Amino acid sequence: MSEQEIKVPDLGGADEVEIIEIAVSAGDTVEEEDPILTVESDKASVDLPSPMAGKITKITVSVGDSVKEGDVVGLIDADGAAADETSDDDTPDEPSEDASEDTTEDKADDKPAKPAASTAGGSRTETVTVPDLDGAEDVPVLEINVKEGDDVAEDDPLVTVESDKATFEIPSPFAGKVGKLLVKEGDKLSAGDKLLEMTVSGGESDGEEKEASAKASEASAESSPESAPKPQKKASGGSRKETVKVPNMDGAEGVPVLEINVSAGDEVAEEDPLVTVESDKATFEIPSPYAGKVDKVLVSEGDKLSEGDNLLEMTVAGDGEAADKGADEAPAAEENKPSRAEGEQASPAAESVSDEPKTSGKVHAGPAVRKLARELGVDMARIRGSGPKSRILKDDVQAYVKGELQKTQEGSAPAAAGGAGIPGVKLPDFSQFGDIERESMSRIQVATANNMQRNWLNVPHVTQHDAADITDMEAFRKSLKAEGEKRGVKMTPLAFLLKASAHALLELPQFNVSLDMERREVIRKRYIHIGIAVDTPNGLMVPVIRDVDKKGLWELAEEASEMAAKARDKKLKPNEMQGGCFSITSLGGIGGTAFTPIVSTPEVAILGVSRASMQPVWDGGAFQPRLMMPLSLSYDHRAVNGADAARFTTLLGQVLGDVRRLLL
């Protein structure tokens, strides 16, 4: 008996893999090729087989360890002959010509011989067969990567198959032209089955043919899951192919396409709009990251997009170096994306995570991914896979769970479902009272309803009412009319309200916080961004003006006007409605004397402004007519005390009553 080391074999290019399961323990007797342990790379889960038959004497690794090619994972005892044979296999000398011929003959016993090449006119016809699949049988064809008439290079992927443990590609053993496909998607393949016929260019001697055949067999035998070379996009004429993807949309998912602004054949410049989409709060355009020509649009109006989805294919003009770089990077960018048959259009709507489980269709995932999904209680039918042929990866499961948790924490459950244990309202059949008409709520209406209910249920609201004397402020504002016309900016009361609120937030920083109730922490903000509520035909929008404390009145008036116009035109971007510390909502242009605005959590206060009116105010000797503006400050009573709220509205009144205080 002799003791041999069990080493990690070639991992198909992976640097390190994680051990997710150990199939044997010390004392177990195994046969050659029996699985020792299961590892998982970024792309697949595979079993590492025993290099010989014998008894396991020691396992030197644990579940969760990371290993690489050549690492020792255990020891095994085998008889002398088997050990010698294994040793020869582990450290092979340079094979002699006789050994090469013997090897070829041995392989011929295991695989069907290829038909003799018919040499005519400098070319021959070859029938490509399925190589060894590591013992797997009846492996289904997921995708056929070539079609009849295609020119392929040696090692280009021909078909993609999926075993019980991994998805991988079968490479071409020759360079030539595809003649006839002998399989179709869904067929089940085993080693030796015929894949396709192809015409191989160039006449070769018997020795050259044998050498080429041996090389092809070696390449096929050594190919492991996910290690087959990927086809590269060729750069020619100083241009390259690029697949434009959906950029980050500030967390928005499943955003519908309203309009496609380009079509195949169009020339576009960098930053030109490609498509127009609509999130819960805004309509915005996705710009082109390159200048070039649109080859193929991969989405349709109505499709729903998320970050990373394919948008369109385009040819990007550039110098040779840039083209070479693009060709080298393209396979990495597309490594986990399935290729599509010509003429097939990618539909993000079809790929997005559905709200209801799938009722049919196979879920493609490895054993480690399925185990993770079981542990997390995830229905895999709800997950959109990012691997080949929509194969679900571990990252997909984790991203799905993270997204669901985020939805729960943000309170995105429908308002109609009630909240905090409060039962929903059951509606009567209104048609029994008369004619009715139903129409769907817009996305903005749904989002507003959900947010309002979440805020009202989670925040203990209190509203402080007060009034500010803005007689002098209004006189000053009106005196700026001529200057505003020269600047092209209209000075509005909102600019004064923004500046006064920023001043109050600096003086009373307890209003510029957010509460983290899970960690029992107060988050104090060192910036002042203020949201302004804008009434639009599509619903309430709240763009955010940043660094209000650092801007002058003219700058604030101009920015507020621009933001309001973008809100009404549905042109606000998601990041333009995020990051607010405090909000202002004004009904002064409509009417009313007071109201109770709802705090927009995680902010802790919101200022409501009603219509100003002339009122008699006692000056100590007589009543004087003064222009009074009603203020309604709603606040989160967990963060703000009533006395602080009174101080805040009093300070606002002082600053609005005499804007010179802003200079102090």
Catalytic residues: 637
The beta strand positions in 485-560, using DSSP E, are 513-516, 521-524, 530-532, 534-536, 539-541, 544-545
List b or e across 517-549, with b for residues whose CB sees 16 or more CB atoms inside 10 angstroms: eeeeeeeeeeebbbbbbbbeebbbbbbbbeebe
Q: What single letter denotes the amino acid at residue 5?
A: E
- Separation of alpha carbons 386 and 98, rounded Å: 47
- Separation of alpha carbons 593 and 632, rounded Å: 9
Q: Which residues pair with 59 in a beta bridge?
A: 74
Q: Which residues pair with 310 in a beta bridge?
A: 245
DSSP H stretches of helix in 543-582: 553-568
- Separation of alpha carbons 425 and 427, rounded Å: 6
Q: To the nearest 10°, report the CA torsion of 372, 375, 380, 386.
A: -20
Residue 152 phi, psi (nearest 5): -125, 150
- Separation of alpha carbons 233 and 316, rounded Å: 12
- Separation of alpha carbons 407 and 414, rounded Å: 11
Per-residue DSSP letter, 100: H
- Separation of alpha carbons 29 and 21, rounded Å: 18
Tokens of 607: 């200022």
